């Protein structure tokens, strides 16, 4: 046990301690593959297949993409981090690289640690000789084995898994699942290509190699943030989705559209984001759960309709997948720059809720909650995600549908409508909670009238000062209800920590790992993570800070937007800000380094 503890402490990947077999079996595996190449070379599908193969063999996976806004050329990278324990962030270190071009070697060789192998096609790519380079003729073997050089990528995967002594049958199974949908023949050729790479590596890879033994069959899902949100919408009974494609949220629209026929739901591609949210409001007014998904630029176009949702008290769920701004920014990269935008967006005063899921699990469950809050309080709810969460594939326990509740809010029964009398129903009736019972248009004896103009209880336009005063109060009273629905921040780490590090959204995984690393090295830090950010959970947040001397924020933006919100809502001032805004995700190592600089 002592030895086990020792090795965990120094965090060695199994790859480097393979010779100490006794220990190897019980140490923590933490291994990162990096695949790099041009857009169009198949980096993404290779990475996804590798991630699937590792997940299927029982590993926890965190697979992250780094790609450019182009279809061909450029430089794309897919990292697959695997461990026998849950992994929630990219590591920054690489243990094995598959380079499909010379640029990958030039750029990323420096990230390879512990003499990890760099597998490349030496017949196609020039590279300076090095002991860690291992040439596998991807293309030649692909042609020899399958007659098709495109299969070179699968040769590379076969070689890589041979080097780490993974069970190739698992890869074969995945290839059959992925390509079998197209044609059995294509799947078979891929299997043959993988065999070719595997055999070649077995014969030619002479260095002492580490192993990643399969850990047993796993029932975990391999899923990314957009899929989790889309599934959340489906589980919540969303019947209508409208949107205009925009990275990183396009996947939500595509998933929903792809399932529309099977689920009896409708996806409509709108002419622009203005139309998308207005369509959602129309559908929601008429009685179905409806959602749209976009990024910051698209949301900018939706802002007028957001205000309309507030005024007409129409439930709506809006996914804002943050990417780098301003304007078009880095279209395919990540940032947390829209927190203050979504909290304050819209002309006039109206209540809203903002959720910022930190994991795929939260992306799923908070999406279902977003619909409940939207309908219960008749307000717009914004799900604030980002490119990093949207695109990263992670393993997760299968989402628990028994946890799903569907709360559609208050509706008037037919009898209640009858009792009111013909056309006496008032859509915006004043109530103590501010929430007026709903009726769906089409109901006999009731007319459902609402307006973006200030309106009377029956929904018709008014200029009355008294009505205006009452209606503003009515709408804002609903915020009290929304506030009660907001969950407390998550606390992780020792209660007695000196410093609390505050994160929100996709920074969750990186900060959690950074907190572990810092505490292992003797720091006393705790994390507070906000996934439900608006209305800001003032009391819960302040209460959870108690016992610690100070707090710092960790955010993917340049100004410390959460720090601003915290100060505005609680009066508390962050003692430090760990910020990143270069378009790349925050890593545990980055936080550790920045934290040390902040405290010295």
Partner 1 sequence: MVTLKDYEGGETAWCPGCGNFQILQAMKQALVALNLAPHQVLFVSGVGQAAKLPHYLNGNLFNGLHGRSLPVAAGAKIANHALTVIVVGGDGDGYGEGGNHLLHAIRRNQDLTYLVHNNQIYGLTKGQASPTSDQGFVTKTTPMGVILQPLNPIALAIALGATFVARGFAAKIPHLTDLIVKGIQHKGFALIDVLQPCVSFNHHNTYTWYTERVYDVGEETGYDPQDRFMAFKKAQEWGERIPVGVIYRSERPSYEDQVPAFRAGPLVKQGHDLRKVERLLEAFIP
**Residues in region 55-74 near partner 1 by CB under 8 A:** 55-56
272 binds partner 1 (CB under 8 A): yes
Q: Of residues 120, 172, 285, 551, which one binds partner 1 by CB under 8 A?
A: 285
Using CB under 8 A, which residues numbered 405 to 434 contact partner 1? 406, 423
The DSSP element (H or E) to which 83 belongs, if any, is strand 73-83
Residue 386 to residue 338: CA distance in whole angstroms: 10
Q: Does 28 bind partner 1 (CB under 8 A)?
A: no
- In angstroms, what is the minimal distance from the CB of 200 to partner 1? 25
Closer Cβ to partner 1, 347 or 593, answer by number: 347
> Going by C-beta distance under 8 Å and a sequence separation of 6 or more, which residues neighbour residue 352?
306, 310, 343, 346, 379, 380, 381, 382, 482, 534
Q: Pattern of binders to partner 1 over 522-541, x per CB under 8 A?
A: --------------------
Q: Which residues pair with 553 in a beta bridge?
A: 502, 577
Our CB check for partner 1 shows the closer of 58 and 481 to be: 58
445 binds partner 1 (CB under 8 A): yes
With CB under 8 A as the contact rule, which of the stretches 6-14, 69-77, 280-288, 502-510 interacts with partner 1?
A: 280-288
Q: What is the CA radius of gyration of the chain?
A: 26
Q: If binding is defined by CB under 8 A, does position 443 make contact with partner 1?
A: yes
Minimum distance of partner 1 from residue 442's CB (angstroms): 5
Scanning residues 477 to 506, which ones bind partner 1 (CB under 8 A)?
Answer: none
End-to-end CA distance of the chain: 36
Binder among 43, 87, 164, 231 for partner 1 (CB under 8 A): 231
Tell me: does residue 440 bind partner 1 (CB under 8 A).
Answer: yes
Nearest residue (CB) to partner 1, 288 versus 485: 288
Residues numbered 538-557 forming contacts with partner 1, rule: CB under 8 A = none
Query: DSSP character for 122?
Result: T
Query: Helix or strand or coil: residue 476?
Result: helix
Strand partners, 67: none
Shortest distance, position 304 Cβ to partner 1, whole Å: 6
The 3-class secondary structure across 340-380, one letter per residue, is HHHHHCCCCCCCCEEECCCCHHHHHHHHHHHHHHHHHHCCE
Which residues between 183 and 222 bind partner 1 (CB under 8 A)? 218-222
| Six-digit token string for 400 | 């628990």
Q: Which residue of 260, 467, 524, 540 would you call a contact of partner 1, by CB under 8 A?
A: 260
Which member of 310, 337, 459, 535 binds partner 1 (CB under 8 A)? 459
Tell me the CB-side half-sphere exposure of residue 379, using CA atoms within 13 A.
30
Q: Which residues contact 478 (CB under 8 A, 6 or more apart)?
A: 313, 351, 377, 378, 379, 433, 434, 435
- Of the candidate residues 174, 482, 525, 563, the single one contacting partner 1 (CB under 8 A): 174
Residues contacting residue 420 through CB under 8 Å, at least 6 positions apart: 412, 445, 446
Q: How far apart are CA 271 and CA 160, in angstroms?
A: 45
Name the residue with tokens 């395919």: 332
Report if residue 279 touches partner 1, rule: CB under 8 A. Answer: yes
The least distance separating partner 1 from the CB of residue 155, rounded to whole angstroms, comes to 21
Q: Which is nearer to partner 1, 282 or 543 (CB)?
A: 282
Contact status: 263 vs partner 1 (CB under 8 A): yes
Residue 589: both structure tokens together? 């190592």
- In the bound state with partner 1, the residue whose beta carbon lies nearer, of 174 and 342, is 174
**DSSP letter assigned to residue 401:** G
Smallest gap from Cβ 464 to partner 1, in A, equals 13
Q: Which of 38, 227, 375, 391 binds partner 1 (CB under 8 A)?
A: 227
Q: Does 234 bind partner 1 (CB under 8 A)?
A: yes
Torsion over CA of 303, 309, 310 and 316, rounded to 10 degrees?
Answer: -100
C-alpha 180/C-alpha 219 separation (Å) is: 21
Choices 87-95, 114-122, 452-460, 544-552 (CB under 8 A): range interacting with partner 1: 452-460
- The answer to whether residues 321 and 293 touch, using CB atoms and an 8 Å cutoff, is yes
Using the rule CB under 8 A, which residue among 304, 454, 516, 598 binds partner 1? 304
User: Token digits for 348?
Assistant: 């006039």
Nearer to partner 1, 177 or 495 (CB): 177
- Whole-Å CA distances, 195 to 162, 188, 574: 9, 11, 55
446 touches partner 1 by CB under 8 A: yes
Q: Which one of the spans 67-75, 90-98, 435-443, 510-518 is the region binding partner 1 (CB under 8 A)?
A: 435-443
**Does 175 engage in binding with partner 1 (CB under 8 A)?**
no
Q: Which is nearer to partner 1, 132 or 456 (CB)?
A: 456
Does residue 237 belong to the site contacting partner 1 (CB under 8 A)? yes
Q: For residues 460 and 564, which CB has a smaller minimum distance to partner 1 in the complex? A: 460
Contact present, 275 and 250 (Cβ < 8 Å): no
How buried is residue 397: exposed, middle or buried, by Cβ count under 10 Å (0-12/13-18/19+)?
exposed
- Count residues binding partner 1 (CB under 8 A): 74
Q: Which is nearer to partner 1, 22 or 262 (CB)?
A: 262
- The tokens describing 267, both together, are 């996806």
- Asked if 452 touches partner 1 (CB under 8 A), the answer is yes
Collapse the DSSP code of 268 into the 3-class scheme (helix H, G, I; strand E, B; otherwise coil) and give the result. Answer: strand
What the block records as the tokens of 501 is 């590090």
Which CB sits closer to partner 1, 25 or 272? 272
Position 257 contacts partner 1 (CB under 8 A) = no
Nearer to partner 1, 170 or 563 (CB): 170
């Amino acid at each position: 046990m002592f030895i086990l503890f020792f090795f965990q402490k120094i965090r060695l990947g199994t790859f480097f301690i393979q010779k100490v077999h006794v220990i190897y079996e019980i140490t923590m595996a933490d291994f990162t593959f990096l695949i790099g190449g041009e857009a169009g070379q198949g980096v993404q599908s290779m990475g996804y297949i590798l991630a699937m193969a590792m997940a299927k063999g029982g590993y926890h996976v965190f697979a992250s993409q780094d790609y450019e806004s182009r279809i061909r050329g450029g430089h794309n990278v897919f990292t697959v981090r695997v461990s026998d324990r849950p992994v929630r962030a990219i590591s920054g270190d690489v243990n094995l690289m598959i380079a499909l071009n010379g640029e990958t070697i030039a750029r990323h060789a420096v990230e390879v640690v512990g003499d990890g192998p760099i597998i490349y096609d030496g017949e196609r790519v020039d590279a300076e000789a090095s002991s860690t380079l291992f040439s596998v003729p991807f293309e030649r073997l692909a042609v020899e084995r399958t007659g098709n050089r495109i299969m070179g990528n699968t040769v590379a995967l076969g070689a890589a898994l041979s080097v780490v002594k993974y069970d190739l049958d698992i890869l074969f199974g995945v290839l059959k699942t992925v390509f079998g949908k197209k044609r059995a023949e294509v799947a078979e050729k891929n299997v043959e290509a993988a065999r070719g790479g595997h055999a070649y590596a077995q014969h030619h890879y002479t260095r002492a190699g580490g192993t990643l033994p399969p850990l047993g069959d796993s029932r975990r899902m391999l899923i990314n943030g957009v899929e989790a949100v889309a599934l959340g919408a489906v589980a919540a009974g969303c019947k209508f989705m409208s949107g205009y494609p925009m990275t990183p949220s396009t996947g939500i629209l595509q998933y929903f559209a792809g399932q529309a026929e099977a689920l009896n739901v409708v996806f409509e591609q709108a002419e622009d984001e203005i139309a998308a949210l207005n369509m959602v409001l129309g559908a929601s007014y008429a009685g179905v759960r409806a959602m749209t998904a976009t990024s910051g630029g698209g949301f900018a176009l939706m802002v007028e309709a957001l205000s309309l949702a507030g005024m007409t008290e129409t439930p709506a769920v809006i996914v804002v997948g943050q990417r780098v701004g301003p304007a078009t920014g880095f279209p395919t990269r990540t940032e947390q720059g829209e927190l203050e935008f979504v909290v304050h967006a819209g002309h006039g005063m109206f209540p809203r809720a903002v959720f910022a899921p930190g994991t795929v699990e939260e992306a799923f469950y908070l999406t279902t909650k977003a619909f409940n809050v939207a309908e219960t309080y008749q307000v717009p709810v914004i799900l604030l995600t980002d490119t990093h969460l949207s695109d990263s594939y992670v393993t997760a326990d299968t989402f628990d549908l028994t946890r799903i509740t569907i709360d559609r809010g208050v509706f008037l029964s037919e009898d209640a409508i009858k009792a009111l009398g013909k056309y006496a129903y008032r859509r915006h009736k004043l109530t103590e909670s501010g929430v007026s019972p709903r009726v769906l248009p089409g109901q006999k004896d009731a007319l459902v009238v609402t307006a973006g103009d200030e309106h009377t209880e029956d929904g018709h336009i008014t200029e009355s000062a008294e009505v205006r005063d009452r209606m503003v109060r009515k709408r804002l009273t609903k915020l009290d209800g929304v506030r009660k629905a907001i969950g407390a921040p998550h606390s992780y780490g020792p209660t007695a920590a000196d410093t609390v590090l505050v994160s929100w959204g996709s920074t969750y995984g990186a900060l959690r790992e950074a907190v572990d690393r810092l505490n292992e090295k003797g720091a006393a830090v705790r994390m507070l993570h906000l996934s439900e950010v608006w209305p800001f959970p003032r009391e819960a947040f302040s209460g959870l800070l108690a016992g610690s001397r100070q707090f710092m924020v960790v955010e993917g933006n340049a100004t410390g937007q959460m720090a601003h919100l915290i100060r505005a809502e609680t009066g508390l001032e962050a003692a430090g800000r760990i910020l990143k805004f270069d378009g790349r995700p925050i890593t545990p190592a980055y936080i550790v380094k920045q934290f040390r600089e902040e405290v010295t």
